[in-house]
Chains A and B, each alone.
Chain A
Amino acid sequence: MDTIIIKDGHIVDPENNINEQLDIVIEKGVITKIEKNITPFPNARVIDASDCIVSPSFTDLHVHFRDPGQTYKEDIRTGSMAAVAGGFTTVVCMPNTIPAIDEPSIVRYVIEKGEEVGLCRVLPAAAVTKGRKGKELTEMALLKDAGAVYFTDDGAPVVDSHIMRKAMEYAASLGTFVADHCEDLSLSKDGVAHEGEIAAALGLPPLPPEAEETMVARDCVLSIRTGAPVHICHLSTKLAVEVVAWAKAMGANVTAEVTPHHLYLCDDEWLDFHCKAKVSPPLREYEDIEAVRWALSSKIIDFVATDHAPHAHHEKMLDHWNCPPGMIGLQFALPIVMELVRKDYIDMVRAVEVLSTEPAKKINMKPPSIKVGERAEFVVFNPNETWEVTEEKIFSKSKNTPLLGRKLRGKVKYTFFNGKIVYEDRYKEEFCYD
C-alpha cells in the first residue's frame, strides 16, 4: 500500500513548532500533506491515531547491543527490534563489546550490521582508550571518519585525569565529545547497592553516591578549564545534579543524560535482595528521583538515554558481586517519560525534546522532522494506554528488568523509519521488514 493516512493524531514536533491535531498523508514513504481533516481516499491505508501523539521518532544515545562478542545477551537485530518497539529509530551503541569498539573496522561492522537489519539507524560510540583500558588514546580521528558519533569508555570511567583532559580536547577539535561513566572506583569498591537506608538495613554492600559525584565534579572542572565539551552519562544523584547546574552556570559545555530507571525506580527495589535491581550507577533514593525529574524539566539534564543493558538470566542470578550491573530500557523509556508528563514535571513538548530532538542534536544529527517532503520517521504512541510488562512483550534477548509484571502507561503503536512502518502494535505486533 503506497499511501498511508494518519488520522486524528495530535502532532508534537518542537523543531517545526507543531502542537496540534493534524492528519498526515504519506505517499511512497514521503510526507505529502499535513492538514486538518483530510478525507480518506481510496486505496489508502488509514491509521486511526485518535488518542495518540505523533512525534518525531526517538533517539537513544546510550544502548548496549553486545555485538560483537556477547550476542547471547543481545545482538544488533534484537536490539533494533527492541528499539523500534520503544519508538527509537536512532540508537548509539556503547563500545564495551568484545572486542571493544576501538578501531575503525569494528565501527564499520556495527554500522553495516545495523543497515543490514534495516529497522533503525544503529550508530556506534567508540572507545576513548584502547581496549577501554584507560591507558592510551584510540585513533579518535580515524574512528570518527569511520562513523563513530562520540567517544566513551562506558561501563568504566576514564580514571586517569590527564588522559581524560587530552581526550576531551582532541574530541573537541574533531567536532565531537567525550561522554563519561562517572564512578570513582576507589570509592565504589565492592559496593553493590546505593549507600542509603535500604543498604544499611539489609546489609547490602554499600556503594556511596560520592563515587559518582566526585567524578562528575572532576569532569565539569576539566570542561571549564579546557573549554571542551563533556557529556555526563546516566546522572543519578541530587548532588550530581547540583554540580552540573553549577558547571552550566559557569558557562561550561557540559551536557547530561538520565535513564528511565533513575527517573522511576529507587533503592527499595532491593527489598527482595534480587540482583535484578543491580545497575550502575545504582538505583538511588526518592529525593534523587525527584531531583533528576526536576533537572530534566529545568534543562540541567539535557535528555533521556536508556543505558539499555541486557544480561542473561544466569548472569543476573549470580551473587551480588559477580552479577553484572544493568537493566534493559528501550521499551520503557516512553511510558516512564509519560509518567513525568502526567505528574506535571514536564509537558508533552519537553517529553518529545528529551526523547527525540535534543539527543539527535547532541550528535549533530538533523532530528527527524514531521514536514512535507520529508521521509516518514515518526512514532505514533498512545500516552494513556496501559500495558503489563511480560517477557513475551520484551523484544530484547534478555529480560532483565525489575519492571516485569508491572503495569506501565504509554505505548508505542507505530514506528516509522525511512518512510516505512518498522513496528506496529496490537493488530499484528510484528516487525515489518522490506
Chain B
Amino acid sequence: MKDLLSVNQLSVSDIYQIYEYAKDYKDRYKRGETKFSDLRGCSVLLPFFESSTRTRTSFELAGKILSADTINISASQSSVKKGENLYDTIKTLEAMNSDFIVIRHYMSGAPHIVAKEVKSRVINAGDGTNEHPSQALLDGFTILEKKGKIEGLKISIVGDILHSRVARSEIKLLKKLGAEVTLCGPITMIPRHVEALGADYITTDIEDALSDRDVVIFLRIQLERQSKVFFTTLNEYSVKFGLNQERLELLRDDAIIMHPGPVNRGIEIQSELVYGNRSLILEQVENGLFVRMAIYKFLLNK
C-alpha cells in the first residue's frame, strides 16, 4: 500500500498499528519531545484545491514535527475551474518528485486518480463528497482513548449524510472496529441508496438517534447549501436536529459528543455544549496532529 485514499484500504490491524504510532507520539510529545526525525529529508506537498484550515494545518504541522519539508499549494476552486484539468495537476505534482502528496480536492475520487499516476505516497485529505480518512482515523482514536474500546459501542452520526465525506469514512472505520452505527438527518440529506454506506440503522428522528448511544458525531451543516432544498431553514434544522440540554439527557450517562468542526454554534450543537464536559471536540483537534504523524509513519514503513 503506497497511499492512504480510503478507509477501505486499511485492515483492522493497520488501523491499530496507526493508533499505536499515534499513542507513542502523543506520549512522547507530552513528555516534552517535540521534534522527531522520522521524516528527515522527506518532502511533503500539500495541494489544497478547496479551502481548509484545520486539516491542512494539522497535516503541515505533523510533517514539520517529523522533520519533513512541507510545501503548501493552495489553488482556489475558481482558478482551477477556469482550465487546469486533472491531467495537468498530475503532471505538475509528479514533476516535483515529493515523497508525500497530501491532497484535498473538490472532486470525489481525485486523489485516487492522482495516486495511480505518481510515484509519491498520496494521502487523501478530503475529496468531494467521497471520503476523509484521516478525520475518521482521528475520531476513532479519540473514541478509543476515552472509551477503551470501540467494539460494541453504539454510535450515531447526525446531519447532512448525503454530502458528507466524513460520514462515508467514519462509517467504514467504525464498522470495521465493531461499532453499531446509526445515521440520522433530514430525509433530504440522506442518500437514496443509503444502505450502500454500510450503517446499521437509519433514522430521521433525532431522539431515536440519541437514545442509549455511547457516542454521537454531529456533522457540519454547509451554510452555503441553505438556498437549496436540502432543508427548510437553519432554525428548523436546529430545532429538529440540533443538540440541546434536554436531548443530552437521552444519551448514556458516560456518552460523548463529537464534531469534525468547525461547529455552527447553535445549529448542530447548542452553544454552551460545544466545549461542555461531554464534548471531545478539542481532543479531536489535538489528536488529529498525532494521528496524522502516525499516518506518515505508517505509509513510510509500508
Contacts and interface: CB of A to CB of B under 8 A. Distances in A.
Interface of A: 195-206, 208, 272-274, 313-315, 317-322
Contacts of B129: 203-205
Contacts of A313: 87
B86 interface: yes
Given A319-B86, A319-B106, A322-B85, 9 more contacts: A197-B195, A203-B129, A203-B168, A204-B109, A206-B191, A272-B116, A273-B130, A317-B86, A321-B107
B192 interface: yes
A194 to B, nearest CB: 10
Contacts of A196: 193
B110 A200 contact: no
B113 interface: yes
B85 A273 contact: no
Nearest to B195: A197
A198 B196 contact: yes
A75 B189 CA distance: 44
Interface of B: 80-81, 85-87, 106-110, 112-113, 116, 127-131, 163, 165, 168, 191-197
| Minimum-distance CB pairs A-B, first 3 | A273-B109, A203-B129, A197-B196
B113 A201 contact: no
Nearest to B171: A201
Q: Chain A interface secondary structure, helix, strand, loop or mixed?
A: loop
A190 to B, nearest CB: 11
B87 A197 contact: no
A198 B128 CA distance: 15
A202 B192 contact: no
Nearest to A204: B108
Contacts of B108: 202-205, 273, 320
Given A195-B193, A319-B106, A203 B165 contact: yes
B113 A272 contact: yes
A105 B36 CA distance: 73
Most buried by B among A203, A205, A272, A274: A203
A319 B113 CA distance: 11
Contacts of B193: 195-197, 199-201
B191 A200 contact: yes
Contacts of A197: 193, 195-196
Given A272-B109, A322-B81, A200 B86 contact: no
Contacts of A318: 85-86
B110 A273 contact: yes
B194 A202 contact: no
Given A195-B193, A197-B193, A208-B192, A202 B85 contact: no
B194 A200 contact: yes
Contact of B87 (A202, A208, A314): A314
B32 to A, nearest CB: 41
A274 B192 contact: no
A314 B87 CA distance: 7
A203 B128 contact: yes
Contacts of A200: 191-194, 196-197
B136 to A, nearest CB: 13
28 contacts: A195-B192, A195-B193, A200-B192, A200-B193, A201-B193, A202-B108, A203-B108, A203-B127, A203-B129, A203-B130, A203-B163, A203-B165, A205-B108, A206-B192, A208-B192, A272-B116, A273-B109, A274-B113, A313-B87, A314-B85, A314-B87, A318-B85, A319-B81, A319-B86, A320-B107, A320-B108, A320-B128, A322-B81
A318 B129 CA distance: 17
A200 to B, nearest CB: 4
Contact of A273 (B81, B113, B163): B113
Contacts of A319: 80-81, 85-86, 106-107, 110
A182 B163 CA distance: 27
A317 B89 CA distance: 10
Contacts of B128: 203-204, 320
A172 B89 CA distance: 51
Contacts of B168: 201, 203
Nearest to A197: B196
Nearest to A322: B81
Most buried by A among B81, B87, B128: B128
Nearest to A272: B112
A256 B128 CA distance: 36
Contacts of B165: 203
Contact of A201 (B110, B116, B196): B196
Contacts of B107: 273, 319-321
B252 to A, nearest CB: 30
A201 B106 contact: no
Given A273-B110, A273-B113, A317 B85 contact: yes
Nearest to B190: A200
Nearest to B128: A203
Nearest to A319: B107
A204 B116 CA distance: 19
Contacts of B106: 319
Contacts of A208: 192
Nearest to A317: B87
Contacts of A204: 108-109, 128-130
Nearest to B107: A319
A201 B195 CA distance: 9
Q: Among the interface residues B130, B163, B165, which one has the most CB atoms of the partner chain A within 10 A?
A: B130
A202 B109 contact: yes
A203 B5 CA distance: 14
B128 to A, nearest CB: 6
B52 to A, nearest CB: 17
A243 B212 CA distance: 47
